[in-house]
């Protein structure tokens, strides 16, 4: 089975409509012959809180700053657990995954984080769609590219996300404790 992971439900519907097989809806996915289209609902994952790295960091203390994770962790967002479970089940059956995040830095991060978090190790292709009309989506489906080409975009988004976390956690705690 080929699994297409779209960034949002509207994109998933547009992709399913452009596939040649008739669409059959199920919870959290649309099945079109040997291709299944599923979606994220915005960010399904978020940076783990400081106490996920060290329980001592649950309490705010100046002598514990700065907090700098050695190995970064992601945690499922509470409202997204159901859709993440759907993708987890589908990705285990996939022979190929197609990353259909928006064609920008954040779109690359959003879907790729899910693919990596679920430890998928098969081939990943990239679908770039900037227009949701059927002819445009069909053209994009005919021009899949290797997701490897987009690693610099992913790394830039990941660096921005981690920098936001580092500055946000450390400065918020430092200013709050000294204020």
97 closest CA partner among 81, 116, 82, 84: 116
Digit-coded pLDDT (tens) for 131-177:
999 999 999 999 999 999 999 999 999 999 999 999 999 999 999 99
The alpha carbon dihedral of 103, 27, 3, 89 has a sign of: positive
Tell me the CATH class for 2-178.
alpha beta
Strands (E), 33-111: 35-39, 45-47, 74-76, 96-100
- Confidence category of residue 69, pLDDT binned at 50, 70, 90: very high
What mean pLDDT do residues 35-55 have?
96
Assess contact for 97 and 114: CB atoms under 8 A: no
Confidence grade of residue 100 (pLDDT, cut at 50, 70, 90) = very high
Mean pLDDT of 62-86: 96
Per-residue pLDDT, 81:
95
Q: By the 8 A CB rule, do 113 and 74 touch?
A: yes
Q: What is the pLDDT of residue 141?
A: 97
pLDDT band per the 50, 70, 90 thresholds, residue 46: very high
- What's the rounded mean pLDDT across residues 16-30? 95
Per-residue confidence (pLDDT) for residue 148, from 0 to 100: 97
Task: Report domain extents, the chain.
Answer: 2-178
Region 81-100: what's the mean pLDDT?
98
DSSP state of 160: H
């Amino acid at each position: 089975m080929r699994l297409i992971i779209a960034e949002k439900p509207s994109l998933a519907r547009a992709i399913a409509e452009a596939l040649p097989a008739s669409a059959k809806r199920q919870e959290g996915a649309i099945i079109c012959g040997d291709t299944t289209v599923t979606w994220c609902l915005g960010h399904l994952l978020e940076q783990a809180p400081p106490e996920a790295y060290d329980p001592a960091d649950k309490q705010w203390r100046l002598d514990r700053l700065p907090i700098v994770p050695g190995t970064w962790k992601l945690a499922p967002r509470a409202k997204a657990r159901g859709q993440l479970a759907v993708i987890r089940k589908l990705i285990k059956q996939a022979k190929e995954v197609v990353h259909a995040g928006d064609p920008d830095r954040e779109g690359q991060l959003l879907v790729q984080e899910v693919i990596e978090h679920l430890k998928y190790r098969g081939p990943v292709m990239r679908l770039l769609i900037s227009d949701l009309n059927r002819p445009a989506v069909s053209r994009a489906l005919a021009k899949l590219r290797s997701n490897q080409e987009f690693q610099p975009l992913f790394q830039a988004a990941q660096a921005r996300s981690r920098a936001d976390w580092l500055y946000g956690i450390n400065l918020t705690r430092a200013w709050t404790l000294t204020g």
